[in-house]
Amino acid sequence: MSVQRLLRAGRGEVAANHQIVQDGSQHDVLNQLAGGLAHDINNFLAVIMGSVEALAEDLAPGSDQQELALTSLRAAERAAALLRGLLAASRPTVSQLETVDCAAMLAEVRPLARQLVRDGIALSLQAPSDTLLCATDRAGLESALLNLIINARDAMPAGGSLSLTAETVSLTGRAAEQLSVAPGAYAAFTVTDTGFGMSPETVRRAMEPFFTTKAQSGGSGLGLSTASAFARQAGGALSIVSAIGGGTQVTLYLRRVTGRIAAAPPPLPQAVAANQNLRS
């Protein structure tokens, strides 16, 4: 991903007639830049460490030359540790991944969702009849979805319709690029409300930590930013489509898996399966 693209993502690009943003805060952009830099530096350090270690093997044990090589090796290790510390301080803790049937999980979330929405709001939850397996953190996903439901509820003080749907989507090409995710199959959890919608500026800033339009009523400004961070940690993304007076649609994408790996290897993803044709 180029620096230019990261910066464009940070500004929150306008797509079609809606404001669509993903991972749009400057903080995210800087984190991604730092991550890219760390990746490259770690690769360089890996080559340096491997080479010096091999060189040290060739030198006479206990010699000055070998000691110099080992000193270089230890210095590279200290640089790597410093880099790890910097990265750990700049990003959230990664959650525990497990294989979760998200279709079944939605059924479990339903009672709590009903409790959260007030009278005057028609709630609809639609999950696929088949299993929808994702490699994710169950508690994190539940929390993210409930945050989205609360946001949708608060956007409709006079009532309206709130729906949560889960489906499998294929993100390829420009769609995957826009969301900064790897092409492939994803579970898409979409929360749609018929509330007052958001201005382009609000959409652009909606995923910034502590940004809120609900300060008077005690909004923390962390719901969407936390959901966005969760999605990214799990290899997915969060997108917002909204327009003033036209309601809001927030979609959380998570990488779908097609089987429990320990029990049976999953079928090849489409892109890989296509590449297998090269064998013949």
Partner 1 sequence: MENPASPGILIIDDDHSMRQVIALGLERRGYRVRSAESGRAGLRAFDAERPALVITDILMPDIEGIETIMALKAKGGPAAKIIAMSGGGRLVGHDFLKWATHLGADRTLAKPFRLSALLAMVVELIGEADAPKAPGGWRSTAQAQDAGAGSDEGLYGKPHADA
DSSP state of 185: E
- The distance of closest approach from Cβ of residue 83 to partner 1 in the complex, given in angstroms and rounded to an integer, is 9
The count of residues interacting with partner 1 (CB under 8 A) is 56
Give the count of beta carbons closer than 10 Å to the beta carbon of residue 4. Answer: 8
Q: How far apart are CA 161 and CA 62, in angstroms?
A: 76
Nearer to partner 1 by Cβ, of 43 and 126: the residue is 43
| Binding residue for partner 1, selected from 20, 21, 49, 127, defined by CB under 8 A | 49
Half-sphere exposure of 233 (CA within 13 A, CB side): 19
First and final C-alpha spacing in the chain? 32
Q: Is 1 in the site for partner 1 (CB under 8 A)?
A: yes
Neighbouring residues of 94: CB distance < 8 A, sequence distance ≥ 6 = 233
- The distance of closest approach from Cβ of residue 97 to partner 1 in the complex, given in angstroms and rounded to an integer, is 5
Q: Is 92 in the site for partner 1 (CB under 8 A)?
A: yes
Sheet with strand 184-193: strands edge to edge? 14-15, 18-21, 237-242, 248-255, 184-193, 160-171, 121-126
- The distance of closest approach from Cβ of residue 81 to partner 1 in the complex, given in angstroms and rounded to an integer, is 10
Q: Which of residues 139-198 bind partner 1 (CB under 8 A)?
A: 180, 182, 184
Q: Is 91 in the site for partner 1 (CB under 8 A)?
A: yes
The two three-digit tokens of residue 192, written as one number: 């749609």
Do residues 249 and 190 lie in contact, with contact meaning Cβ atoms separated by under 8 Å? yes
Nearer to partner 1 by Cβ, of 2 and 217: the residue is 2
| Binding residue for partner 1, selected from 8, 14, 15, 43, defined by CB under 8 A | 43
Instruction: Give 77-102 as a DSSP string.
Output: HHHHHHHHHHHHHHSPPPPPPEEEEH
**Helix, strand, coil share of the chain (percent; to 5):** 50, 20, 30
Q: How far apart are CA 134 and CA 118, in angstroms?
A: 30
| Residue range at the interface with partner 1 (CB under 8 A); choices 38-46, 141-149, 187-195, 218-226 | 38-46
Q: Is 71 in the site for partner 1 (CB under 8 A)?
A: no
φ/ψ region of 102 (left if φ > 0, alpha if ψ in -120 to 50, else beta) reads alpha
Q: Is 122 in the site for partner 1 (CB under 8 A)?
A: no
x-or-dash string of contact with partner 1, 193-222, rule CB under 8 A: ------------------------------
Pairing status of strand 121-126 against strand 160-171: parallel
| Binding residue for partner 1, selected from 59, 80, 222, 243, defined by CB under 8 A | 80
- The distance of closest approach from Cβ of residue 187 to partner 1 in the complex, given in angstroms and rounded to an integer, is 15
Q: Which of residues 95-114 bind partner 1 (CB under 8 A)?
A: 97, 99
Where does this chain bind partner 1 (CB under 8 A)?
A: 1, 28, 31-32, 34-36, 38-43, 45-51, 53-54, 57, 73, 76-77, 80, 87, 90-92, 94, 97, 99, 135, 180, 182, 184, 229, 232-233, 235, 255, 257, 261, 265-269, 271-272, 275-276, 278-279
